Amino acid sequence: MMGGSGLEARDSGAGNSFANTLQNMIGDSLNSVRQAETTTMAGLTGNVDLTDVVTAISKAELTLQAVVAVRDKVITGYQEIMRMPI
């Protein structure tokens, strides 16, 4: 009985780690988008160079593309698991 509970504890720890990783990735993505918005607004007022605005927007775009790619892989993995016979 003890071995089973140890395995469950390990599984939930791995699940928390994966959830934390996703949460951190999403948080970083949101920060990148917010930074791009802030830089864009500063660029409109002339406080920031246009190169910095373009760089911030490109970084936010790449981050968003990475999040979408991870989301697609997670959904594909979930669908494959659901198709497995019991």
Segment 41-66, tens digit of pLDDT: 999 999 999 999 999 999 999 999 99
Contacts of 66 (CB under 8 A, 6+ apart): 25, 29
- Is residue 42 within 8 A of residue 48, CB to CB? The reply is yes
Find, among 72, 67, 42, the residue nearest to 55 by Cα: 42
> CA-CA distance, 14 to 12, in Å (whole number)?
5
> CA-CA distance, 21 to 23, in Å (whole number)?
5
Q: What is the value of pTM for the model shown? A: 0.68
Q: What is the mean pLDDT of residues 20-38?
A: 91
